[in-house]
Amino acid sequence: MAAVAERVAELDGRYLALALLLQLAALSFRALAWRGVLAAAYPEKRIPVVGLGCAYAAGVALNAYLPARGGEGAKVALARSQISGSSVATIGASLSVVLVFDALFGAALMALLWILGLAPSVPSLPSVGALPLGLALLVLVSAATALFVFARVADHARRLLAAAARGLSVLRSPWTYASTVLPFQLAAWACRIAVVYVVLHAFRVDAGLETAVVLVVFTGLSTAVPVPGGAGSQQVLAVYALQGVVSTAGAISFSLGMQLGVTAVNSAVGLLATMLLFRTIRPLQAVRAAKSDSPFELRST
């Protein structure tokens, strides 16, 4: 950590300032994309721009400290408190539109880079033996269990599915999605890639735009690991992405420095957003208010 701190202290402040602005822009664009999805789900309601942006920023900040993207629950709870008559299932489904786009777009970018020969080589996989059979059995058991549970709670499940389907309303109108959601999602991706590209050069890593794309995709993959912020997994994936570009120590140093920097920015923005949301200038009071608005205390309608 001392070596990382020393490397960070040597960074050019101009790069850091640009990266900060780009990170703030990425957060803003993603919040606007989510608002577009919710506006399609609740066309009769007013979806506040600032309030929803604050809810989104608070959830992003919490994702760095809670395992398995626990901040997503906070986004749902804080958004529901601002949209009267809204449903947890609908708001949760609306978030999935943003997340699924990220997964598909990231996979498409990686496929394109591999086709063009610009992505790192895929490591050989060890023999898996009976693993496919075990996974297939697990899927069958899970499906049978799900069908049994669904049959027992059919009425409630139908209401829940109807509410969730409402959150996906924007997908039933391609023009609405293309005009109110997609531009913000693409702009957010451009900003995220630019952040990584700028920070790479701040660390004096001579890497191209394709490397920045790979790192952005891998950072997203690391959040699937059920530890806060994907700690550890980000560094492993960064070493893989930067193979042949920089040493292992340099890749780990870059990854740790960038993760700490992004976490610090997201945490500061999230705290300010929470203070604004709960109309207080006291950070601890804002945090306590956010905790009292726990998503686990809300019932879906």
More confident of the two residues 223 and 98: 98
Tokens, residue 225: 């690991």
- Does pLDDT of 300 surpass 50? no
Residue 11 is encoded by which pair of tokens? 């960074």
What b/e sequence results for 189-221 when a residue is b if at least 16 CB atoms lie within 10 Å of its CB, and e otherwise? Answer: bebbbbbbbbbbbbbebebeebbbbbbbbbbbe
Tens of pLDDT, residue by residue over 238-258, are: 888 888 788 888 888 888 888
The answer, yes or no, to whether residue 218 has pLDDT greater than 70, is yes
At 5, the pLDDT band (50, 70, 90 cuts) reads: low
Nearest to 294 by CA among 85, 71, 93, 34: 71
Residue type, 224: A
pLDDT level of residue 8 (50, 70, 90 thresholds): low
- Given a contact cutoff of 8 angstroms between Cβ atoms, the answer to whether 90 and 164 are in contact is yes
Using a pLDDT cut of 70, give the percent of the chain over it: 74
Distance CA 36, CA 54 (A): 15
Axis crossing angle, helix 154-167 with helix 131-152, rounded to the nearest 10: 110
Which of 42, 41, 181, 165 lies closest to 105 in space, CA to CA? Answer: 181
Q: What was the pLDDT predicted at 222?
A: 72
Beta-carbon contacts of residue 142 (< 8 Å; ≥ 6 apart): none
| Per-residue pLDDT, 301 | 40
Per-residue model confidence as pLDDT tens digits over 82-121: 898 889 999 999 999 998 999 899 989 988 888 888 777 6
Report yes or no: 87 and 166 within 8 Å, Cβ to Cβ: yes
For the beta carbon of residue 53, count every other beta carbon within 10 angstroms. Answer: 21
